[in-house]
Chains A and B, each alone.
Chain A
Amino acid sequence: MASVKLTKVKKVYDNKVVAVHDFDLDIKDKEFIVFVGPSGCGKSTTLRMVAGLEDISGGTVEIDGEVVNDLQPKDRGIAMVFQNYALYPHMTVYDNIAFSLRLQKVPEDVIYEKVTNAAEILGITDYLMRKPRALSGGQRQRVAIGRAMVRNSKVFLMDEPLSNLDAKLRNQMRAEIILLRQKLDTTFIYVTHDQTEAMTLGDRIVIMKDGYIQQVGTPTEVFEMPKNLFVAEFIGAPKMNIMRTELVAEGGKYFVTPFGAKIEVDGEKGKALAAKGQKSAAIDLGVRPEHIVLAKQGEGIPCVLEVNEMMGSELHLHVYTEDGTRLIVRVPTIGLDPAERESLVQGKKLFVTFEGKVMHFFDTESGENLLND
């Protein structure tokens, strides 16, 4: 259990490519923090710098108040789970888990107790005498987690641990990681490119792009108040719809005018804009697919249905507007009239609308959220 503090951490490779720029982050004791971002955004590099597997080009990494920049990985009090499991292929599951303890010269009876304990928690007791090649992907990842568990480390690092598993197993393991976290009660740093994992697991999420932190916040914060267009589009599935439109200030009220419609920005969002003294301007308007609803004929934004994806509990309607902008609309199937559902076929003309309180406003040049502090 420990806090982790990264101050102006930087990674520059030999070929002068900067992978991570001035990374500042305070991770509290027992916090579950998730680094998320697209491939090549520097999330794994940052994690590897915390682990000591990558040299730190600038700044400091502190674990439990101690600067660990020049410490060997084994002396940092960390445990790590890798994407491809990284089990020792020539050792049995038992020996894999016991390896680090044996290096620490822990007595065999203590090792036995710890290994069997971990195996029980992870449900791999039956496989302890098998070699890793005789296990499935999910079982291997459990062994890798077991190996990290027995080390009683201060910080638990996980580098895309579920990426190699199939979708069903990934969901199951995600739930198990949540339970594991409750049992271990230690500091976690978890790297993933999957925003669902980030949202479900993290106490706080660090969203990265091109080596820069885009936003740090709780899942609710980053979902409801994305700092910029990148975060807005990255978090949430399907991604947020973005429309280039006008924000019009008129008699103390604000309106947006997407595709000929005129929708009032009411509620908190309207008040916030007023408090900021926002003037009329061209903006990128963001609305999440689940916040767009089908409207009556002639009301809202006219568009044409292109693809109708049946997802089970909801439909994903891919529509395009008069100027060709594509939007995605999530329609729950439960409240849908069967006749109307049948009529949602390619080429059908629809009208969609949304409320003012669900809108997000971004600067057309910088992409920053207009309501940022």
Chain B
Amino acid sequence: MNKQESLAAERRRKTVLSIVLAVICIIYVLPVLSVVINSFKVNTFVKTDTFAIPTGEMWAGFSNFIKGMTFGNYPFWRSVTYSALITLVSTALILLFTSMAAWYIARVNSLLCKAIYYLCVFSMVVPFQMVMFTLSKTADSLRLNTPWTIPIVYLGFGAGLSIFMFVGFVKSIPLEIEEAASIDGCGPVRTYFSVVFPMLKPTMISVGILEIMWIWNDYLLPYLVLDINEYRTIPIHIQYLKGSYGTVDLGATMALILLSIIPVIIFYLICQKYIIKGVAAGAVKG
């Protein structure tokens, strides 16, 4: 009797939990869904029938996409190019330099290494808004205000999280593997590239995905640092769809947002199993 009651209670608990989780899922998916729906909707209906499926006179086809991409006098492909350039170069720099730094920090037991490590960890809790004005001024005076040099700024901001994750993972790798490499004839550089780097792959992928998603979607930092008449990333470009009298072409905005999130979603879906693996590997052993 008691057993049956507790089984029934367990089942009820699971049902309630499922419903709660389903509602949370819908809440999360709804904005993305509304972007998809509205990107195919005629602009005037976006405000009035936000969640309606675009049919009949609401259906705009691909006109929003064409409008968004050809809008204004700044070509959309340039924004895509700059976004891609900044994202890829920054991520590559972050992965290479922070993994090297993390390897050193994890393996050399000195006060300086500890200080650098805690500085990096601390940098994660400093909000960007706190440093953004001094940063934009510094970046300007150091000529870090171009798409080719802004990756250095991203390297600084991305270092905290990635060093934290890499250090955790490196500590879980047995030191003997590196010692075996040194007996086999590797110097430090060779040991890093031939032995340590390949072993860091799971963490590389998860750090890479996190950094790519952040940099690709970032609006504030490039807006403050870059010369926006010359260089615009996709988020900045989308913002320019706002008309001069406060009118916004919402249909075209939605279309461009959809275009900008497609690569990230595809990338995430391909690599998501590594994210969990990498985060867990760093966290548990760190």
Contacts and interface: CB of A to CB of B under 8 A. Distances in A.
A74 B185 contact: yes
A107 interface: no
A7 B226 CA distance: 65
Contacts of A84: 174, 176
Tell me whether chain B's interface is mostly helix, strand or loop, or mixed. helix
Interface string A67-111: 000001110001110111011111000000001100110000000
Contacts of A52: 182-183
B183 A74 contact: yes
B177 A100 contact: no
Contacts of B194: 99
B176 A74 contact: no
Interface of B: 174, 176-177, 179-186, 190, 194-195, 198-199, 201
A99 B174 contact: no
Nearest to B198: A90
Interface of A: 51-53, 72-74, 78-80, 82-84, 86-90, 99-100, 103-104, 147, 151
Given A88-B195, A90-B199, A103-B190, A51 B176 contact: no
Nearest to A81: B180
Given A103-B185, A103-B190, A89 B180 contact: no
Contact of B179 (A86, A88, A100, A104): A86
16 contacts: A53-B182, A53-B183, A78-B183, A82-B176, A82-B179, A82-B180, A86-B174, A86-B176, A86-B179, A87-B177, A87-B180, A88-B181, A89-B177, A99-B181, A100-B184, A103-B190
A100 B185 contact: yes
A85 to B, nearest CB: 8
Nearest to B182: A73
A151 B181 CA distance: 13
Contact of A104 (B185, B195, B201): B185
A83 B174 CA distance: 11
A67 to B, nearest CB: 19
A74 B186 contact: yes
Contacts, number: 58
Given A86-B177, A86-B179, 8 more contacts: A73-B183, A74-B182, A74-B183, A88-B180, A88-B195, A89-B177, A99-B194, A100-B184
Contact of B184 (A51, A74, A82): A74
A89 B183 contact: no
The 6 A-B pairs at the shortest CB distance, nearest first, are namely: A86-B176, A100-B184, A103-B185, A90-B198, A86-B180, A74-B185
B181 to A, nearest CB: 8
Contacts of A87: 177, 180
Contacts of B176: 82-84, 86
Contacts of A103: 184-186, 190
Contacts of A99: 181, 184, 194
Given A84-B174, A86-B174, A88-B195, A53 B185 contact: no
Contacts of B181: 88, 99
- Summarize A's interface: helix, strand, loop or mixed: loop
Contacts of A74: 182-186
Contacts of B180: 80, 82, 86-88, 147
B183 A51 contact: yes
A53 B179 CA distance: 7
A88 B177 contact: yes
Among the interface residues B177, B183, B186, which one has the most CB atoms of the partner chain A within 10 A? B183
A52 B174 CA distance: 18
A103 B182 CA distance: 11
Contacts of A104: 185
A256 B201 CA distance: 69
A79 B174 CA distance: 18
Nearest to B173: A89
Nearest to A153: B183
Nearest to B180: A86
A37 B132 CA distance: 61
A103 B180 CA distance: 13
B37 to A, nearest CB: 45
B174 to A, nearest CB: 6
A308 B174 CA distance: 43
A147 B186 CA distance: 14
A155 to B, nearest CB: 11
Contacts of B190: 103
Contacts of A78: 183
B159 to A, nearest CB: 25
A74 B178 CA distance: 12
A76 B157 CA distance: 43
Given A89-B199, A90-B198, A103-B190, A79 B183 contact: yes
Contacts of A82: 176, 179-180
Contacts of B183: 51-53, 73-74, 78-80, 100
Contacts of A72: 182
Most chain B beta carbons < 10 A, residue from A83, A84, A103: A103
A56 to B, nearest CB: 16
A217 B144 CA distance: 70
B103 to A, nearest CB: 15
Contacts of B195: 88
A84 B180 CA distance: 11
B176 to A, nearest CB: 4
B232 to A, nearest CB: 41
A89 B176 CA distance: 12
A245 to B, nearest CB: 48
A145 to B, nearest CB: 12
Question: Looking at B177, B182, B185, B186, which has the most chain A CB atoms within 10 Å of its CB?
Answer: B185
A316 to B, nearest CB: 37
Contacts of A151: 184
A151 B180 CA distance: 12
Contacts of B186: 74, 103
A73 B182 CA distance: 6
Nearest to A100: B184
